[in-house]
Amino acid sequence: MHLAVLPADRSLTGAQFIEQLTRFLRAAKQAKVPVMLESGPCQSGFLEPAQHLVQGMELCEREGVTDLLLSFDLPSVPELIANVRLAVALLRQQGKNYPIHLRLPGQADFEVERIQASVAFGSLLCDGIGNSVQTGQGLEPQKDLELIYNVLQGAGVRITKTEFVSCPSCGRTLFDLQSTTERIKKQTGHLKGVKIAIMGCIVNGPGEMADADFGYVGGAPGRINLYVGKDCVEKGIPTEQADDRLMHLIKTHGKWVDPK
């Protein structure tokens, strides 16, 4: 997909920039090319970028340009979250629903980038905001892509691998939760779109499985109960047989594919 982008010339006055932007929009309209409208930091106020983005959208509409992608180029997580939320609220007041591109500048420290992307993108995606995402400096695109997939998976926006849910270990847990979860992950981690709950006991386990497709729940010492959704379909399976029975259950419900 091709987008028309006009880099901002900071040396121009406000009137000069509006004149330049107007010429640019007319050229994009004539060429039938979508426009990416992006708002950056503003010294006049923390939330001014959102106001400027909406004003830019209104100018685009006056020029008959409505094939828009809206975005921000902001340096911090709080600025991005606050301005995106405000811009979306202002757009909704006008009955507008343009796609939003969520973007964060990359960080030299990938761990910092991971945390920032998780907080910013996760917060907005869980609000139902965001049509596309972008992060990273382009130096390690595979790591950036994996990070984005993980954020999308965590926010429930796009399922690209198996999702696992487990309860916090407590005194009622009837098996080693960590080793059991890792063992089941190794066998089922390739099942895209499948959600598996691994719960230590039947006291709280079934209620905490949320919308899991399958459940592996401690029923008694050395015994496992298996669930499909919230329905218990097999009880008292010896622990040494439970993994195989879970795999069989996944297969009988058409959710199994062989690993590549």
pLDDT tens-digit profile, the chain (260 residues) = 567 777 666 677 778 888 888 999 999 999 999 999 999 888 888 999 999 999 999 999 999 999 999 999 998 999 999 999 999 999 999 999 999 999 988 777 888 888 998 999 999 999 999 999 988 777 778 888 888 888 888 887 777 778 888 877 777 788 888 899 999 999 999 998 899 999 988 877 777 776 899 999 998 999 999 999 989 999 999 999 999 999 999 999 999 999 87
Q: pTM (2 decimals)?
A: 0.72
Nearest of 42, 6, 40 to residue 24 by alpha carbon = 6
Residues 172/203, Cβ–Cβ less than 8 Å: yes
Residue 154 phi/psi, 5-degree rounding, is -65, -35
Residues 104/71, Cβ–Cβ less than 8 Å: no
Residue 255 phi/psi, 5-degree rounding, is -100, 0
Of the CA atoms within 13 Å of residue 238, those in its CB half-sphere come to 2
* Pairwise CA distance, residues 232 & 227, whole Å: 4
Residues 214/246, Cβ–Cβ less than 8 Å: yes
* Pairwise CA distance, residues 10 & 17, whole Å: 9
Residues 98/127, Cβ–Cβ less than 8 Å: no
105, two tokens: 């500048």
pLDDT number for residue 208: 78
pLDDT number for residue 1: 55
Edge-to-edge strand list for the sheet holding 231-238 = 163-166, 195-199, 214-220, 223-228, 231-238
Report the amino acid identity of residue 118.
S
175, two tokens: 């098996």
* Pairwise CA distance, residues 209 & 165, whole Å: 7
189, two tokens: 């981690």
126, two tokens: 């869980």
pLDDT number for residue 7: 67
